[in-house]
Amino acid sequence: MSLSKAGKSALRAALLQVRSGLTADDVEKAAELLARQALELPELSGARTVAAYVSVGREPGTRALLDALHARGVRVLLPVLLGDNDLDWGAYDGPGSLARVQHAGKMTLLEPAGDPLGKEAVVEADAVLLPGLAVDGRGMRLGRGGGSYDRVLARLERAAADPSLVVLLYDGEIVAHVPEEAHDRPVHAVVTPSGTRRFR
């Protein structure tokens, strides 16, 4: 295992440990503040299509944000996890459009129940909201290690698409340094319950 990989694993474990101590009330309060901060982003207020995700467990909550974007008339794309960890996409049409999907050996996810739009649908997004565990001052993001969003970012690059890349985190998850590997790409902004920080 490379030093970068080992460093990522150690940082990931430490951050997940902190998240595991959050109460349902902590998560709910943070989600409301996060939605409020994110909705003020020019990158989102001017977007016609936003690729987002449905938060699970103690991830920073996205449900209020998804509903607010949908209510604004924004086309919201949500991921559908494929067997090889790549992502297809589906449209979000409100809470009733989600289905609970149990992936073998992985967590249960809420995914769009409608027809899949294809892996390339994400290239139409004006902004992409990324899950993560941390970001550093350069905008380097630490994901969960499954590689799903590394493939999304590579797909955007191949298509010469340039959406705003925004990671949603808790306060305290902006760290001094995220170890990086050759495939890692920086994000443009991070939104936490207490504010926004830009990197470009």
41-73, pLDDT tens digit by residue? Answer: 998 988 999 999 999 889 999 999 999 999 999
CATH of 3-198, one of 3.40.50.720, 3.40.50.10420, 3.40.50.12370, 3.90.1640.10: 3.40.50.10420
Query: Quick check: 2 pLDDT over 70?
Result: no
Q: Which helix (H) or strand (E) holds 68?
A: helix 63-71
Question: Domain extents for the chain?
Answer: 3-198
- pLDDT of residue 166 exceeding 90, the answer is yes
Tell me if 144 is assigned to a ligand binding site. yes
Closest of 149, 153, 139, 141 to residue 197, by C-alpha: 139
The per-residue pLDDT for 189 is 95
Q: Flag whether 145 is marked binding.
A: yes
Number of H helices, E strands in the chain: 5, 12
Residue 156 has pLDDT above 90, yes or no: yes
4-14 per-position pLDDT tens digit: 677 888 898 89
48 is in an annotated binding site: no
Say if residue 170 carries a ligand binding annotation. no
Give the CA angle between residues 200, 81, 142 to the nearest 5°.
Answer: 35
Instruction: With beta carbons less than 8 A apart as the criterion, state whether 133 and 12 touch.
Output: yes
Q: Closest Cα to residue 181, out of 140, 151, 148? A: 140
Contact 112, 118 (CB under 8 A): no
Instruction: Give me the residue label for tokens 């977007």.
Output: 47
